């Protein structure tokens, strides 16, 4: 079992934060996921038709993350929140990357709803996971760069387990060690908002949508929430 916790200082700085943790066990990443394929194709077709476009930095959902990034010393136009970068890529290229079914599922939900998303292979997480401010001594190996080691700046918000950093700049980039592959069988997916008063219902809809994409390809799924009033959950 793994506990996820929001540190008191993070909850105090961002009191309206709401995070959904969607867990899947017995995940089968090597079989076809037709509903995920359809979800991606529908988004891309809507973009091509001009009936939908991804949220950009003028959207309140994205703007809130830019403000948060600046508050802990990160330039959000140089190091973008994940959903911002993904939406920009989709708008420019007209398509989303195809990584693997699990990653493709959360990417489609993220960009459709304008909410940052990520995932951790719980088989490679050590101990519990804290969402906290970095003290500057931590190490981080970025996704796709197994030979690179970075050190978050003090005050930067990170996800960290007992070994090292799992996500830098709150939700900019995940770690290589806990990346989700076709072989991952026990995964925690994350969806986030900084404004539960405004976007809490949207987050819950997105979490249910993601769970719906995962459920046909998993033995068990569940949804948990983290907030200032519920700062810890075990998955």
Mind listing the pLDDT tens digit for each residue in 91-126? 999 999 999 999 999 999 999 999 999 999 999 999
Q: How far is CA 14 from CA 8, 67, 139, in A?
A: 10, 11, 24
Separation of CA 1 from chain center: 20
Closest CA to 194 of 10, 53, 24: 10
34: pLDDT confidence band, cut at 50, 70 and 90? very high
Tell me what the mean pLDDT of segment 77-103 comes to.
97
What's the pLDDT score for residue 147? 97
User: CA 49 to CA 28: how far, in whole Å?
Assistant: 33
58: pLDDT confidence band, cut at 50, 70 and 90? very high
Tell me what the mean pLDDT of segment 181-195 comes to.
98
Give the largest Cα separation in the chain, rounded.
48
Tell me what the mean pLDDT of segment 148-155 comes to.
98
Q: Which distant-in-sequence residues (6+ apart) come within 8 Å of 222 by Cβ? A: 22, 23, 235
CA angle 112, 114, 120 (to 5 degrees): 90
What's the pLDDT score for residue 173? 96
pTM of the predicted protein model: 0.97
152: pLDDT confidence band, cut at 50, 70 and 90? very high
E strand residue ranges, 91-185: 117-121, 129-133, 157-160, 165-168, 173-174
Share of residues in the chain with pLDDT > 70 (%): 100
Place of tokens 């249910």: 208
E strand residue ranges, 37-76: none
Write down the mean pLDDT value for the chain. 98
156: pLDDT confidence band, cut at 50, 70 and 90? very high
172: pLDDT confidence band, cut at 50, 70 and 90? very high
């Amino acid at each position: 079992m793994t506990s996820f916790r929001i540190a008191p200082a993070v909850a105090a700085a961002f009191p309206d934060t709401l995070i959904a943790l969607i867990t899947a066990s017995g995940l089968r990443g090597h079989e076809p996921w037709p509903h995920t394929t359809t979800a991606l194709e529908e988004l891309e077709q809507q973009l091509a038709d001009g009936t939908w476009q991804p949220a950009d930095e003028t959207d309140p959902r994205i703007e809130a993350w830019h403000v948060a990034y600046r508050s802990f010393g990160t330039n959000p136009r140089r190091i973008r929140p994940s959903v911002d970068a993904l939406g920009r890529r989709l708008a420019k290229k007209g398509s989303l990357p195809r990584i693997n079914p699990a990653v493709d599922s959360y990417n489609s939900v993220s960009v459709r709803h304008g909410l940052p998303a990520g995932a951790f292979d719980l088989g490679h997480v050590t101990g519990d996971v804290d969402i906290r401010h970095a003290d500057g001594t931590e190490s981080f190996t970025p996704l796709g760069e197994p030979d690179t080691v970075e050190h978050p700046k003090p005050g930067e918000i990170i996800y960290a387990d007992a070994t090292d950093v799992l996500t830098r700049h709150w939700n900019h980039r995940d770690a290589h060690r806990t990346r989700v592959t076709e072989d991952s069988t026990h995964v925690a997916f994350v969806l986030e908002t900084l404004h539960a008063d405004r976007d809490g219902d949207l987050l819950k809809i997105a979490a249910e949508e993601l769970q719906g994409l995962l459920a046909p390809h998993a033995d068990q799924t569940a949804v948990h929430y983290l907030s200032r009033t519920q700062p810890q959950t075990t998955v």
